[in-house]
Structure 1
């Protein structure tokens, strides 16, 4: 089994052709991000991906932004979901990761919504998974488990850094619940959270070693499951970003670390981690 690493477009300030070159130079296997809605831009993206030999994971975000507008109805989310899914198809995505729905909904409403979303996705034959993200129905491990148990075909993009801050603790104490979710995980967002936030200042810092190891334990369990399934590859996107996630110095608002350097460090570290995991399976 191969580990494929994707560069996230979250926080990217480069033009798309430059972002592709950056990803290729850093030995990433692909790009993950929302597809443009304009057809000419979609074709430009497709050409750049092909020229650089990069795979693409579509990011489908509904509700107006990463934090959805509270007054959006399930139908509005579904219409937006379908429109953005269609916009990604010209880029031949290997998969799509979705941030859709709202945390304020009743669980029964979320179950109905995801059931309809899965029905739409089947029309396009694109593998997709729903992210464990704050402000969405999968904002904590327990409601996530209850929802997916009612939807056998639903897959997850696992980002447990969100759960660390929601639950105000590392997920070590909740591994029994997380292990029940492992067979549902199709894709991983590799960001390290801690008990008071979704992103440590730098995952290489010794004071955050326990947080890093906690996340790696879960990621390795996912790799083990994917290996048992006979998958040819497993996917991961290092996803440290800006927008309130990156710690800033008071007054100057200077970032305490370089986000792109951190994501490269995360990719290199997980390549090593994955290779060690494979060796242990021989």
Structure 2
């Protein structure tokens, strides 16, 4: 079984792409996950892809700009984004699909748009379990997964933990179904009052880390049994996901170091 580990561009936007990719490679990642804005030009994407490939890194592209409340505009934007990146060799797409207040049918039409993209390009789209999007909570996602057997997800359980204000002890069926459909993991650790613990390296947060590890372990076990590839992005984020100290505006921990730690910890655990 092959597991590839990805570094988020999120939080390192001030670094040039050359510096960022060199740093990613030196840290031991296999690739990068890049949230591609709707207004990025083809010329910019060509340049980014060239730099990433020159550093022998892979790319997971992320759709994230889904803020338009009017469904028709949202749908058109989603299709336009897929068309823009259809010629770029992504490992897969992480999609923050739909909105939490759209109907099941509306969000379903967006998911079908992603299926059409996959059929056309062969690139899998994993729909992220993200607050504010269609898969914002475990109990809601369960219906999508039950009614759409081919649906694959990016499991970011930190969002579900935050939404449910629990470690989902009473939603085991929903979580088991999610584990069975996971193709990509966002390895961030949440807790009942927030989507990101301050630092996974310190003992006081070990209970939250252990809860997420129990889910990730099951995903890895399933993938190993099926001899399928898995991708993992260590995705602890910058401010406001990472809280800053009062008055001095300094982050309470170093985002790069936390993600590098999580990547290496999981690589040692699973590889």
After superposition, the CA RMSD in angstroms is 1.6
Aligned counterparts of 1:142 and 1:45: Cα–Cα separation in 2: 38
Number of residue pairs matched?
268
1:40-55 superposed matches below 5 A: 40-55=43-58
SS of match in other structure, 2:199: coil
- Of the three residues 83, 86, 103, the one matched with 2:83 is 86
Matches within 5 A, 1:220-231: 220-231=217-228
When normalised by structure 1's length, the TM-score is: 0.90
Cα deviation 1:120-164 (Å, max 9, x = unaligned): 432222111100000011011111010121112211000000011
- 1:119-198 correspondence to structure 2 within 5 Å: 119-198=116-195
Instruction: Determine the structure 2 residue equivalent to 1:72.
Output: 70
Aligned residue for 2:261?
265
Give the Cα separation in 2 of the matches to 1:239 and 1:78.
Answer: 27
- Further displaced range: 21-30 or 41-50: 41-50
Secondary structure at the counterpart of residue 121 of structure 1? helix
Counterpart CA distance in 2 for 1:45 and 1:159 is 26
What corresponds to 1:27 in structure 2?
Answer: 28
Q: Say which SS state the counterpart of residue 147 (structure 2) adopts.
A: coil
Q: Which runs of 5+ in 2 are unaligned?
A: none
Query: Any idea what SS the aligned residue of 1:171 has?
Result: coil
Encode CA deviations 1:209-256: one digit per residue, 9 max, x unaligned. 01001101101111111112221x311000011231101111112100
2:56 aligned with 1:60 = no
In the alignment, which of 202, 206, 229 is matched to residue 205 of structure 1? Answer: 202
Alpha-carbon distance in structure 2 between the residues aligned to 1:228 and 1:20: 33
The answer (yes or no) to whether the contact 2:184–2:231 under 8 Å persists in 1 is yes
Larger mean CA deviation between 210-219 and 80-89 belongs to: 80-89
Q: Could you say what secondary structure the match of 1:149 adopts?
A: helix
Q: Point out the more displaced range, 27-36 or 50-59.
A: 27-36
Q: CA deviation at 1:261?
A: 0.5
Matched, 1:16 2:17: yes
Q: 1:219 aligns with which of 216, 220, 241?
A: 216
